[in-house]
Amino acid sequence: MILFLAGTSDARALALEIKKAGFDLLATVVTENAANELKKQGLNVHVGRLSGEEIAKMIEKYGAEAVVDASHPFAEEASKNTIQGADIADVPYIRYERESQTFEKQHMVMVNSYEEAAIQAAEKKGVIMLTTGSKTLQIFTEKLLHLPDTRVIARMLPRKDNMEKCERLGLPQKNIVAVQGPFTKEFNKALYRQYGVTLMVTKESGKVGSVDEKVEAAIELGIETVMIKRPKVHYRTVYSNFSDVIAHLKSILPSGHRASKAQKS
């Protein structure tokens, strides 16, 4: 059985491919929405964040023989916990990582953290559209909301907890774009024009996250972009396509050892 960290659209697709290859699989996700998407495909799912120790216990409980980490490129803590859990349980750890993209550096500043991105945005002011999600929103609101000649537009998933967080942080309702992507370049251009955006902040999540559509739209409109680089995590065994992940699993888990004790949780 494979313990599988999921949550993104490409992770769900990989989970199904692993299942088709003959492996039992237990997926772990953070939200009920992500769990429902996987359950629709007939997969067993655990919902909730897990520490390294909890992952190790789950590996032991379900008899997992390997761990596949297909979490978001910016889910740094989740990946580190998974590596720790696999090490404690002494099972192989395999990372599926979306391929990185390269962009024209025209009108773009590359930074290493959300804090650096917020500092860059504070220096530029204007109409700033954040497309970095809700988790790190406070980093930006603390540095930007009090500035003169500055309007912060936050684009995020249309979830109740996100709206409540915006309210707590003092982000006006009129400055919230609650919508779920991915979006086309044309949609992004329309949004930028609607709000008169002068600076767009995003992170290097990969093509699956439609980062290229956001950036290309900004470039065509002459809008500056602040791009947050991916966190550096020592994954050891990492692949960027499904076939290599599955080939590795087949090499370490022969067909005779693919039986699982996985149960719905």
- Give the pLDDT confidence of 62-85 residue by residue, as tens digits: 999 999 999 988 888 999 999 999
Does position 207 have pLDDT exceeding 80, yes or no? Answer: no
**Residues 207, 189 share a domain:** yes
Do residues 139 and 220 both lie within one domain? Answer: yes
Question: Does residue 262 lie in a domain region?
Answer: no
227 close to 110: Cβ distance less than 8 angstroms: yes
Query: Are 168 and 183 within one domain?
Result: yes
Asked if residue 237 and residue 223 are part of one domain, the reply reads no
* Pair 26, 128 in one domain: no
Residue 106's pLDDT is 67
Highest mean pLDDT among 33-47, 164-178, 197-211: 164-178
Residue 255 pLDDT exceeds 50: yes
Residues with Cβ < 8 Å from 56, sequence gap 6 or more?
A: 84, 85, 86, 88, 89
Residue count of the chain, please give it.
265
The verdict on 113 and 224 lying in the same domain is yes
At residue 57, the pLDDT reads 95
**Contact between residue 233 and residue 137 where contact means Cβ atoms under 8 Å apart:** no
Judge whether 216 lies within some domain.
Answer: yes
Task: Centre a 10 Å sphere on the Cβ of residue 15 and count the other Cβ atoms it contains.
Answer: 26
How many whole angstroms separate alpha carbon 178 and alpha carbon 166?
Answer: 11
What pLDDT, in 10s, does the model give residues 82-138?
A: 999 999 999 999 999 887 766 666 678 999 999 999 999 999 999 999 999 899 999
d(CA 250, CA 180): 35
* Confidence category of residue 263, pLDDT binned at 50, 70, 90: very low
Is 8 in the same domain as 52? yes
Is pLDDT at 154 greater than 60 in this prediction? Answer: yes
- Is 265 part of any domain? no
Picking from 56, 55, 60, 30, the residue whose alpha carbon sits closest to that of residue 45 is 30
Residue 264 domain-assigned?
Answer: no
Do residues 199 and 156 share a domain? Answer: yes
Q: pLDDT above 90 covers what percent of the chain?
A: 71
Read off the pLDDT of each residue in 39-55 and give the average, rounded to a whole number.
92
Q: What is the mean pLDDT of residues 37-52?
A: 90
- Residues 134 and 194 occupy one common structural domain: yes
Clarify whether residues 44 and 141 are in a common domain: no
Residue 29 lies inside a defined structural domain of this protein = yes
Q: Specify the CATH number for the domain of residue 33.
A: 3.40.50.1000
Q: Answer yes or no: do 166 and 83 share one domain.
A: no
Flag whether 146 is in a domain: yes
What's the rounded mean pLDDT across residues 207-228? 87
Domain around 73: 2-99+232-257
What's the CATH number where 118 sits? 3.40.50.720
Structure confidence at residue 265 (pLDDT): 41
Q: What is the pLDDT of residue 199?
A: 97
Q: For the residues 174-195, what does the mean pLDDT come to?
A: 93
State mean pLDDT over 151-174: 95
Residues 87 and 45 both lie in one domain = yes
pLDDT range class, residue 260, cuts 50, 70, 90:
very low
Q: How many domains does the chain have?
A: 2
User: Is the model more confident about 99 or about 20?
Assistant: 20
Q: Lay out the sheet containing 25-29: strands in order across.
A: 44-47, 25-29, 2-5, 66-69, 93-96, 238-239
Global confidence as pTM: 0.78
Pairing of strands 108-111, 224-228: parallel
Share of the chain above pLDDT 70, in %: 92
